[in-house]
Structure 1
């Protein structure tokens, strides 16, 4: 996808270099964009050993070796991808070939992925456990500054600023000794940052086409619960914590109209 975008940007640069007349980039604009998002997510789900292990009266459940095994199974990565689309608004200022500006956008980013892992308890074969994790994102908003160089009808620019995304993470633990279950959930508007490069080509009537690549880092988030329950009772002293780190790359093409 990135290679195709590079070819497209190269074609637009050639068209811009051969086009007639200079482009006035000043003013406000509205736009639409669409593209593709590829993400890389690091997840971990852990619990902990407390005192002597299984004790219903104390609310403890895991042996030390069990907590270590669950941590190993609950550590992994997911790489979801999705088509995205949205709307943008911005404003440019121009002094000679130097163009500065601000752009804000809001769009869909419907990433979905699930993983599961488990094993036999090191202490207590043949009893086993499973950790199942999923991540979803629904939308993305950015607010970014832009600075670029204009020539003929072309604008090459760099952009950087804030990113905000709707992120949902769900982790579930189960085992068969005796049918234990626990879960952690995280639903948050996650702040981060965006950094990218782009090219915009001016058309007639103050229209323009653009192509850009954004790198998104949405930081880290975590959630802890103490809802471990079995058919024998509840174990509040055996908490589960799920952590997530989300990064993504987004390739966009768009159409803007200035006034």
Structure 2
């Protein structure tokens, strides 16, 4: 039994001697904890798709709006364009802007209704649209709850054709543009 105790003590001394000569172990380095999701960025993109809506031609006398000439009719067409925007995160608040401009061939037409000239065909065509929006939101990690408000511009053309001739009028129309959305990881929902 003494023999076993002496052998164990000798093995302990030998292993301690080797350990003293061994290189020091490298310290374990922990990876830094990931920082929260940050919404500060700029982006550029392309867009395309379909467009639809409604139009109505009405009689006017100066600033007074009169009866409908055509009733409501449908507009359809395609849209292609691009977008650019930036977001800036300050703590939990996200401020941003976005502008998108598109070419469109949205169009439609309808015959004038009685008592107006039934041989007249009234048409509406939208040539381009441009929307600029500001954004304010609240960030909860990869979720962003935000609202936008802005202005939209559209290049429109109205044509009235009849056996007596054709009249065309082009205008740039403006109007408000806004929405409330939720964004998850950069994707609108």
In the superposition, the TM-score normalised over structure 2's length comes to 0.66
Whether contact under 8 Å (1:45, 1:171) holds in the other structure is no
Larger Rg: 2
Please state how far the C-alpha of 1:156 moved relative to its aligned partner. 2.5
* CA distance 1:22–1:86, shift in 2 (3 Å): farther
Whether contact under 8 Å (2:135, 2:146) holds in the other structure is yes
User: What CA distance in whole angstroms lies between the structure 2 residues aligned with 1:105 and 1:117?
Assistant: 35
Whether contact under 8 Å (2:99, 2:131) holds in the other structure is yes
Query: How large is the Cα RMSD of the aligned pairs?
Result: 2.9
Whether contact under 8 Å (1:160, 1:193) holds in the other structure is yes
Matches within 5 A, 1:95-174: 95-118=90-113, 129-174=118-163
Whether contact under 8 Å (1:136, 1:168) holds in the other structure is yes
Please state how far the C-alpha of 1:118 moved relative to its aligned partner. 5.0
Does residue 1:189 correspond to 2:168, yes or no?
no
- Structure 1 residues not aligned, in runs of 5+: 1-19, 48-70, 122-127, 175-180, 203-207, 212-259
Question: Bigger relative contact order, structure 1 or 2, given CA contacts below 8 A and separation 6+?
Answer: 1
User: What CA distance in whole angstroms lies between the structure 2 residues aligned with 1:196 and 1:120?
Assistant: 40
Does residue 1:210 correspond to 2:188, yes or no?
yes
Please state how far the C-alpha of 1:95 moved relative to its aligned partner. 2.1
User: What CA distance in whole angstroms lies between the structure 2 residues aligned with 1:21 and 1:166?
Assistant: 45
Matches within 5 A, 1:58-69: none
User: What CA distance in whole angstroms lies between the structure 1 residues aligned with 2:125 and 2:146?
Assistant: 31
1:94 corresponds to which residue? 89
2:58 corresponds to which residue? 44
In the superposition, the TM-score normalised over structure 1's length comes to 0.50
Whether contact under 8 Å (1:91, 1:103) holds in the other structure is yes
Give per-residue Cα distances to partners, 1:191-250, cap 9 Å, x unaligned: 222112333332xxxxx3335xxxxxxxxxxxxxxxxxxxxxxxxxxxxxxxxxxxxxxx
Whether contact under 8 Å (1:106, 1:140) holds in the other structure is yes
Give 3-state SS (helix, strand or coil) of 1:111's partner. strand
Please state how far the C-alpha of 1:169 moved relative to its aligned partner. 0.8
Whether contact under 8 Å (2:41, 2:86) holds in the other structure is yes
Give per-residue Cα distances to partners, 1:99-123, cap 9 Å, x unaligned: 11111111133211010135589xx
Whether contact under 8 Å (1:118, 1:130) holds in the other structure is no
- Structure 2 residues not aligned, in runs of 5+: 1-33
1:26 corresponds to which residue? 40
